[in-house]
């Protein structure tokens, strides 16, 4: 296990290194280079040269990359072009809010998808399974913002149950104390996950129901609910954990749209605003932080999965 | 009991046809393609020149069955033209992602070792950066056009097929027929071409349909984030997000038609993908 | 006495095919009844019927009853009460029959918890007692372990412990030893016999092996294509088989023979294969420990060993599919170590391999003709026409009909697929054929015909052969010389008759003693 964690940690470091490489490449694709981005179109060539020299952009690329890598690893993402703030501070303020949004959405999705998936697996091939599959696919196929729009129309305008505006508070406490505002963004973000998770769980449970050990238990006289509880769900748990690990980047992508739609003050909105104003340090900083969060998330998911499974948990001769 | 390792093409077709959703998907797709590509031949409209005096007409007014938008374009005709763009981008980007991913994953899984480790870390890194974020960054760097969107979406979407193909390749490379071929003097690339890819074709095709569905959704999101193809060119995502700008003014005919067409198209591809999965997955068929 | 299980005119249909037709027999208390047959004979379907475990697509007519109560018309609740309590089951595959996430103790006592509703503490004590009963060493430690920490044989003991936990009248054992090595098989069969003697439990033994039948059964029921063709006392049946199918089953079982066969035609030139001090490591695990052996021109060397002995690795080392960590491998005098690329490809094309699993040995997307021609395509032998002609010759040589050329693997039976494998292996006229368990996935009657084919082809074409198998009787039927492997090393090698009749090594002796011989009287004496 220790060895496994070591190897996975090393892999994660390599992955983050490659991420930095990609982001570095993108930085150098900025039209006119970072200098134009900061100094604007009116800057003279002299000003640009001076800026490039001061920032080290005239050094050989490998040297620049080394310096950039050092900055990224220490959390120094530079200054925003637009706002008079360090990118690191902006991200540090927004990241927890996005994590709250996606965390709550994931929780909600699991609460709905697990029973749904199990139900479908047990009723496989019957009318109820087909109908739910169909609903699932439609949910998956609906663009997040279209769904959000429909939800706002129904649950904020026709039946004014929730607010169409996300909580705008500056702190996490303020955000969490506005459930009416939080409800629609969370439900919208959870919808796609419900579709994917329940589909995944359905096939995992079907697979497990056909395992030999389930047949063995059935031959011992176990009832179907007992089999599900004791033998199938436990084994599907590992599948759920790895599924969440895989889903982290998709969830961030969804957050980008949901935050923009409901004006929720998270990383997605920060990113979108930065894109509108070509604020490259913020764009790349956010990309880097999200990539690191994803890598760490899947690392944790993998380790958790191995901890659940006795085959990989410990080795006793 | 020994079951045949893989069924014939006939059996696969049968399994596909047994899946009602898949049939619905196939029928939907045929209708949608006919609507977008044959529709404009029957229902001719001007989708280039704006007619501001005829903007935001209600459905049915002045011979516009679905009304007009804020620039005076006929909505029904625009849905057809926009659908062409959405379908072309979706299909081409899905195909591009599938080709890159299949090749990458097949090589990584077949050769294993260091090559595999390095290739798969690249995939991990790509997956760690959500595609939509990369798309947005790309859209701020280059002006989006149909070929650019195809290329960029293809380049951010090949990672999942690469992972799937790698797993297939890893499993297939130790099959006896692959080893027999290598013993008879076959090369690694030859084995990939002759045995590995053809035998993984089920997984590849099934995933490709989902890739197309995802690509269509990605185009929609890029448009929603205001970074889509600039007018007068149109796609459903652009129409939908354009309509949403007037969502509180009651212009429902600018929102629901493109929205429903997106849902229907993506559904069609996922239904087909699900049916193909049934058709190719021997395990599932035996259990049915 | 009421029979514990009685089949009365049982028929089971799946769609258009009748898996079991009009089967009637009874099992008396404490009796061991073997149901023998090859794949598709309906023996496993019959077994599943006793527990009501058939899939819902099955159409059942007639009746199976337990102690006079018909099982086929039981409610789900009654069935649950019967399963594990009145009739228990032991399945074939001990590696997958246990839940990997639950401890051995939990699973052994699960039946008791379900049927008797005993407390956790009591269940733990019972689990310990049951593990002791089935002879698992250190039961106190084992109850807390998970299935992956146990060997295959120990797992099968656990499955048997589960089966006897609720003291059922009958245990239905479906191929309980098929997945196990011979030495382990002998122990498990002895355990089943002891449990019957001690607990008085009747056993329905489903098997394809006449050797296993001879060792354990009191009575034998022979099934063929869903029907019972013979039913009788074990001694009677082995001495005077009445039905032709029973006779063919008995004939098909390879036996040890002391007869001397004509030796190999003395070949010339360097040895086909020469291994010298070969060591193979997989990570920290040493699979092969200094093996030296030689296959002379024109000879068949039988390489025998149990699972994990390293015999398969030797076969793969011989053709460069696995590179040894130390030692030398020479194919027709050419050292394989250090060869790469084109040089390696030409050298090893002089050897060919036939693999174990007929399901994965052929590309499902290629016709038989293309499969057989593939080695010639790769070595650029002849033109298309010539290759087609050669493929037709080869199909003929392995006794397949000529229309097989245009068929796909899924249209062929297991035995036919292995014939195609052999034809493909012979396509380049190899000097050395490596056959890795080529018949072990086949029914015994098919096995015999494939072995016969291999032998006659070898005589005709004169290639050398490394024949790898766990089955001593099969090796005995084919090999000129024999090498026995145990834990990565060759423990004994020599002439076939010498090794099999006068083994010098302890392990070889134990191996030979464990082989079930299809002779009940000889078996009972052991």
CA distance C166 to chain B (A): 30
* Any A CB within 8 A of B124 CB: yes
C171: domain CATH number?
Answer: 3.40.50.300
For residue A267, the chain B residue with the least C-alpha distance is B133
What radius of gyration do chain B's Cα atoms show? Answer: 22
Asked whether residue C91 falls in the same domain as residue C22, the answer is yes
pLDDT in tens, C373-414: 999 998 888 889 999 999 999 999 998 998 889 888 888 888
pLDDT in tens, B43-60: 877 777 777 777 777 777
Token pair listed for C401: 């009909």
Distance CA C101, CA C114 (A): 19
Q: Give the pLDDT band (50/70/90) at residue C265.
A: low
Q: What are the C-alpha distances in Å from B262 to residues A9, A127, C227, C440?
A: 41, 26, 58, 55
First to last CA, chain A: 15
- pLDDT for the residue numbered A58: 73
* Any A CB within 8 A of B247 CB: yes
- pLDDT for the residue numbered B283: 41
- pLDDT for the residue numbered C513: 84
Strands in C481-486's sheet, in edge-to-edge order, are C351-354, C432-436, C464-469, C300-304, C481-486, C489-495
| Nearest CB to B270 within list A26, A140, A276 | A140
* Any A CB within 8 A of B282 CB: no
- pLDDT for the residue numbered B212: 93
Per the structure, the count of domains in chain B is 1
Interchain pair C361, B180: CB under 8 A = yes
Asked whether residue C246 falls in the same domain as residue C307, the answer is no
Last residue of a domain, one of C233, C252, C271: C252
For residue A311, the chain C residue with the least C-alpha distance is C148
- Establish if C121 belongs to a structural domain: yes
CA distance B210 to chain C (A): 24
Task: List the single best residue of C48, C366, C370, C374 to mutate versus B (max B Cβ within 10 A).
Answer: C374
Contact status, residue B165 vs residue B104, Cβ threshold 8 Å? yes
In CATH, what class is A93-309?
A: mainly alpha
- pLDDT for the residue numbered A37: 63
DSSP, collapsed to helix, strand or coil, labels residue C42 as coil
* Any A CB within 8 A of B177 CB: no
| Nearest CB to B179 within list C321, C359, C374 | C321
- pLDDT for the residue numbered A173: 77
- pLDDT for the residue numbered B285: 37
User: A92-97 long-range CB contacts below 8 Å, 24 or more apart?
Assistant: A94/A265, A94/A266, A94/A267, A94/A269, A94/A270, A95/A266, A95/A267, A95/A289, A95/A293, A96/A172, A97/A172, A97/A175, A97/A264, A97/A265, A97/A266, A97/A267
Asked whether residue C245 falls in the same domain as residue C380, the answer is no
Interchain pair B5, C428: CB under 8 A = no
| Nearest CB to B121 within list A11, A133, A253 | A11
Axis crossing angle, helix C444-461 with helix C244-252, rounded to the nearest 10 = 50
Axis crossing angle, helix A267-276 with helix A280-308, rounded to the nearest 10 = 150
For residue B199, the chain C residue with the least C-alpha distance is C365
Asked whether residue C241 falls in the same domain as residue C301, the answer is no
Angular region, C327: left φ>0, alpha ψ -120 to 50, beta rest: left
Strands in C17-27's sheet, in edge-to-edge order, are C17-27, C5-14, C58-66, C69-70
| Nearest CB to C89 within list A213, A219, A309 | A219
Contacts of B255 in chain A (CB under 8 A): 149
- Establish if C344 belongs to a structural domain: yes
- pLDDT for the residue numbered C306: 86
pLDDT in tens, C143-174: 999 988 888 888 999 999 999 998 899 999 99
Asked whether residue C193 falls in the same domain as residue C301, the answer is no
Distance CA C211, CA C223 (A): 16
Token pair listed for C438: 């080529």
Contacts of C173 in chain A (CB under 8 A): none
- Establish if B157 belongs to a structural domain: yes
pLDDT in tens, C45-68: 888 888 888 888 888 888 898 888
CA distance B66 to chain C (A): 50
* Any C CB within 8 A of A219 CB: yes
- Establish if B126 belongs to a structural domain: yes
Positive or negative: CA dihedral A191, A194, A195, A197: positive
Contact status, residue A46 vs residue A54, Cβ threshold 8 Å? no
CB atoms within 10 A of CB A194: 23
B26: domain CATH number?
Answer: 1.10.3720.10
CA distance B183 to chain A (A): 34
- Establish if C270 belongs to a structural domain: no
| Nearest CB to A218 within list C53, C96, C100 | C53
For residue C109, the chain A residue with the least C-alpha distance is A220
Positive or negative: CA dihedral C124, C129, C131, C137: positive
Average pLDDT score, chain B: 83
Q: What are the C-alpha distances in Å from C104 to residues B284, C111, C189, C319?
A: 30, 13, 21, 42
- Establish if C282 belongs to a structural domain: no
Contact status, residue C184 vs residue C153, Cβ threshold 8 Å? yes
CA distance C261 to chain B (A): 31
Contacts of C80 in chain A (CB under 8 A): 221-223
CA distance A308 to chain C (A): 8
- Establish if B51 belongs to a structural domain: no
Whether A38 shows a pLDDT value over 70: the answer reads no
As a whole number, mean pLDDT of residues A8-25 equals: 87
Interchain pair C364, B6: CB under 8 A = yes
Per the structure, the count of domains in chain C is 2
State the DSSP code for C426.
H
CA distance A141 to chain B (A): 5
Whether C257 shows a pLDDT value over 70: the answer reads no
A-B CB pairs within 8 A amount to 137
Q: Give the pLDDT band (50/70/90) at residue B101.
A: very high
pTM assigned to the model: 0.85
All CATH 1.10.3720.10 domain ranges of chain A, comma separated, are 93-309
CA distance C489 to chain A (A): 23
Contacts of A221 in chain C (CB under 8 A): 80-85, 111, 114-115
Interchain pair B190, C411: CB under 8 A = no
- Establish if B56 belongs to a structural domain: no
| Nearest CB to A26 within list B137, B266, B288 | B137
Residue C455 exposed, middle or buried by CB count within 10 Å (0-12, 13-18, 19+): middle
Distance CA C187, CA A18 (A): 56
Q: Give the pLDDT band (50/70/90) at residue B282.
A: very low
Domain that holds residue C94: 5-252
Query: Of B124, B80, B116, whose CA–CA distance to B235 is shortest?
Result: B80
Domain that holds residue B121: 13-35+61-287
Positive or negative: CA dihedral C66, C70, C74, C78: negative
Interchain pair C110, A219: CB under 8 A = no
Interchain pair C355, B5: CB under 8 A = no
pLDDT in tens, A250-264: 888 888 889 988 888
Among residues of chain C, what percentage have pLDDT more than 70? 96
Task: Name the interface residues of C facing A (CB cutoff 8 Å).
Answer: 51, 53, 80-85, 88-89, 91, 93, 96-102, 110-111, 114-115, 145-146, 148-149, 159, 162
Kindly report the three-state secondary structure assignment for every residue of chain B.
Answer: CCCCCCCCHHHHHHHHHHCHHHHHHHHHHHHHHHHHHHHHHHCCCCCCCCCHHHCCCCCCHHHCCCCECCCCCEHHHHHHHHHHHHHHHHHHHHHHHHHHHHHHHHHHHHHCHHHHHHHHHHHHHHHHCCHHHHHHHHHHHCCCCHHHHHHHHHHHHCHHHHHHHHHHHHHHCCCHHHHHHHHCCCCHHHHHHHHHHHHCHHHHHHHHHHHHHHHHHHHHHHHHCCCCCCCCCCCHHHHHHHHHCCHHHCCHHHCHHHHHHHHHHHHHHHHHHHHHHHHHCHHHHHHC
Whether B1 shows a pLDDT value over 50: the answer reads no
Kindly report the three-state secondary structure assignment for every residue of chain A.
Answer: CHHHHHHHHHHHHHHHHHHHHHHHHHHCCCCCHHHHHHHCCCCCHHHHHHHHHHHCCCCCHHHHHHHHHHHHHCCCCCECCCCCCEHHHHHHHHHHHHHHHHHHHHHHHHHHHHHHHHHHHHCCCCHHHHHHHHHHHHHHHCCHHHHHHHHHHHHHHHCCCCCCCCCCCCCHHHHHCCHHHHHHHHHHHHHHHHHHHHHHHHHHHHHHHCCHHHHHHHHCCCCHHHHHHHHHHHHHHHHHHHHHHHHHHHHHHHHHHHHHHHCCCCHHHHHHHHHHCCCHHHHHHHHHHHHHHHHHHHHHHHHHHHHHCHHHHCCCC
Q: Which other chains touch chain C, taking contact as 3+ CB pairs less than 8 Å apart?
A: A, B
Distance CA C33, CA C26 (A): 9
ipTM beyond cut 0.85: no
Contacts of A233 in chain C (CB under 8 A): none
CA distance B35 to chain A (A): 19
Distance CA A101, CA A103 (A): 5
- pLDDT for the residue numbered A35: 67
As a whole number, mean pLDDT of residues C306-322 equals: 89
For residue B198, the chain C residue with the least C-alpha distance is C365
Interchain pair B128, A19: CB under 8 A = yes
DSSP string, C318-367: HTTSS--SEEEEEETTEE-TT--HHHHHHHHTTEEEE-S-TTTSS-TTS-
Distance CA B156, CA B134 (A): 7
Asked whether residue C215 falls in the same domain as residue C307, the answer is no
What radius of gyration do chain C's Cα atoms show? Answer: 25
CA distance B250 to chain A (A): 11
Contact status, residue A21 vs residue A68, Cβ threshold 8 Å? no
- Establish if C212 belongs to a structural domain: yes
Contact status, residue C194 vs residue C9, Cβ threshold 8 Å? no
Average pLDDT score, chain C: 88
């Amino acid at each position: 296990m220790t060895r496994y964690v070591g190897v996975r940690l090393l892999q994660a470091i390599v992955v983050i290194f490659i991420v930095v490489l990609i982001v570095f490449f993108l930085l150098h694709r900025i039209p006119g280079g970072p200098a134009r981005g900061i100094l604007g179109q009116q800057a003279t060539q002299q000003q640009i040269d001076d800026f490039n020299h001061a920032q080290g952009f005239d050094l050989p690329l490998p040297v620049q990359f080394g310096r950039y890598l050092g900055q990224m690893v220490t959390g120094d993402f530079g200054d925003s072009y637009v706002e008079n703030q360090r990118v690191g501070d902006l991200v540090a303020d927004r990241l927890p809010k996005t994590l709250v949004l996606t965390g709550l959405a994931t929780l909600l999705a699991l609460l709905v998808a697990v029973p749904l998936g199990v139900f479908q697996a047990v009723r496989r091939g019957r009318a109820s399974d087909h109908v739910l599959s169909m609903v699932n696919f439609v949910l998956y196929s609906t663009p997040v913002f279209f769904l959000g729009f429909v939800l706002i129309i129904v649950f904020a305008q026709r039946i004014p149950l929730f607010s169409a505006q996300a909580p705008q508070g500056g702190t996490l406490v303020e955000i969490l104390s506005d459930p009416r505002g939080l409800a629609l963004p969370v439900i919208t973000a959870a919808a796609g996950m419900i579709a994917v998770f329940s589909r995944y769980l359905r096939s995992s449970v079907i697979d497990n129901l056909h395992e030999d050990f389930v047949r063995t238990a059935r031959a011992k006289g176990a009832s179907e609910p007992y089999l599900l509880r004791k033998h199938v769900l436990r084994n599907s748990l590992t599948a759920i954990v790895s599924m969440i690990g895989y889903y982290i980047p998709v969830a961030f992508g969804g957050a980008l749209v949901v935050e923009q739609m409901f004006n929720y003050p998270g990383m997605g909105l920060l990113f979108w605003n930065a894109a509108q104003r070509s604020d490259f340090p913020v764009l790349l900083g956010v990309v880097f932080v999200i990539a690191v969060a994803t890598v760490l998330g899947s690392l944790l998911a993998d380790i958790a999965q191995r901890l659940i499974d006795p085959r990989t948990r410990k080795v006793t001769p | 009991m020994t079951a045949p390792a893989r069924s014939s093409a006939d059996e696969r077709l049968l399994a596909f046809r047994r899946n009602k959703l898949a049939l619905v998907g196939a029928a939907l797709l045929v209708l949608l393609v006919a609507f977008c590509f044959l529709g404009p031949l029957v229902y001719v409209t001007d989708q280039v020149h704006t007619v501001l005096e005829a903007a935001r007409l209600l459905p049915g007014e002045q011979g516009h069955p679905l009304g007009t938008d804020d620039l005076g374009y006929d909505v029904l005709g625009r849905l057809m033209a926009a659908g062409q763009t959405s379908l072309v981008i979706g299909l081409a980007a899905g195909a591009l992602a599938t080709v890159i991913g299949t090749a990458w994953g097949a090589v990584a899984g077949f050769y294993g070792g260091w090559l595999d480790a390095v290739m798969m870390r690249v995939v991990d890194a790509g997956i760690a950066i959500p595609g939509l974020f990369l798309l947005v960054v790309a859209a701020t760097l280059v002006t989006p056009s149909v070929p650019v969107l195809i290329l960029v979406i293809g380049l951010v979407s090949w990672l999942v097929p690469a992972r799937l193909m790698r797993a297939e390749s890893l499993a297939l490379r130790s099959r006896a027929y692959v080893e027999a071929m290598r013993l008879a003097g076959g090369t690694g690339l030859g084995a990939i071409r002759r045995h590995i890819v053809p035998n993984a074709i089920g997984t590849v095709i099934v995933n490709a349909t989902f890739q197309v569905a995802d690509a269509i959704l990605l185009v929609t999101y890029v448009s929603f984030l205001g970074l889509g193809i600039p007018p007068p060119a149109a796609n459903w995502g652009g129409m939908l997000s354009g309509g949403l700008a007037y969502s509180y003014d009651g212009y429902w005919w600018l929102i629901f038609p493109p929205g429903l067409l997106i849902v229907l198209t993506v559904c069609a591809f996922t239904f087909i993908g699900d049916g193909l999965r049934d058709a190719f997955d021997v395990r599932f068929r035996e259990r049915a | 006495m009421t029979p514990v299980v009685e089949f009365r005119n049982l028929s089971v249909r799946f769609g258009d095919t009748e898996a079991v037709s009009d089967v009637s027999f009874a099992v008396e208390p404490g009796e061991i009844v073997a149901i023998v047959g090859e794949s598709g004979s309906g023996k496993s379907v019959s077994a599943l019927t006793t527990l009501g475990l058939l899939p819902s697509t099955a159409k059942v007519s007639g009746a199976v009853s337990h102690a006079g109560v018909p099982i086929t018309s039981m409610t789900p609740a009654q069935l649950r009460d019967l399963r594990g309590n009145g009739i228990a089951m032991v399945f074939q595959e001990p590696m997958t029959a246990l839940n990997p996430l639950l401890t051995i103790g939990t699973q052994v006592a699960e039946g008791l918890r379900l049927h008797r509703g005993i407390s956790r503490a009591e269940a733990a004590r019972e689990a310990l007692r049951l593990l002791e009963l089935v002879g698992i060493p250190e039961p106190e430690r084992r109850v807390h372990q998970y299935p992956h920490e146990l060997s295959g044989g120990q797992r099968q003991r656990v499955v048997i412990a589960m089966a006897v936990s609720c003291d059922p009248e009958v245990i239905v054992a479906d191929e309980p030893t098929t997945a196990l090595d011979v030495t382990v098989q002998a122990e498990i069969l002895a355990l089943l016999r002891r449990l019957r003697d001690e607990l008085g439990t009747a056993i329905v033994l489903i098997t394809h092996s006449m050797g296993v039948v001879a060792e354990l059964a009191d009575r034998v029921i022979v099934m063929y294509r869903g029907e019972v063709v013979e039913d009788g006392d074990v001694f009677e049946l082995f001495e005077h088989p009445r039905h032709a199918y029973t006779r063919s089953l008995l004939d098909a079982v390879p036996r040890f023979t002391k007869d001397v066969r004509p030796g190999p035609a003395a070949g010339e030139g360097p040895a086909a294969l020469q291994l010298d001090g070969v060591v193979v490591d997989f990570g920290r695990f040493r699979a092969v420990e200094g093996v030296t052996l030689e296959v002379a021109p024109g000879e068949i060397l039988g390489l025998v060993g149990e699972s994990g002995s390293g015999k398969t690795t030797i076969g793969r080392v011989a053709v460069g599919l696995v590179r040894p960590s130390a030692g030398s491998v020479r194919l027709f005098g050419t050292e394989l170590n250090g060869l790469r690329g084109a040089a390696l490809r030409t050298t090893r094309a002089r050897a060919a391999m036939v693999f174990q699993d007929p399901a994965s040995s052929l590309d499902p997307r290629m016709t038989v003709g293309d499969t057989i021609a593939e080695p010639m395509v790769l070595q650029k032998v002849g033109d298309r026409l010539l290759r087609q002609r050669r493929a037709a010759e080869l199909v003929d040589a392995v006794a397949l009909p000529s229309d097989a050329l245009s068929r796909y693997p899924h249209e062929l039976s297991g035995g036919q697929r292995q014939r195609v494998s052999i034809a493909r292996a012979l396509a380049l006229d190899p000097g050395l054929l490596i056959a890795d368990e080529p018949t072990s996935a086949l029914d015994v009657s098919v096995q015999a015909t494939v072995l016969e084919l291999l032998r006659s082809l070898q005589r005709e074409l004169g290639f050398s052969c490394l024949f790898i198998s766990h089955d001593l009787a099969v090796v005995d039927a084919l090999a000129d010389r024999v090498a026995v492997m145990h834990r990565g090393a060759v423990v004994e090698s020599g002439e076939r008759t010498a090794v099999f009749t006068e083994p010098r090594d302890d392990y070889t002796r134990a191996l030979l003693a464990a082989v079930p011989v299809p002779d009940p009287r000889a078996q009972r004496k052991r």
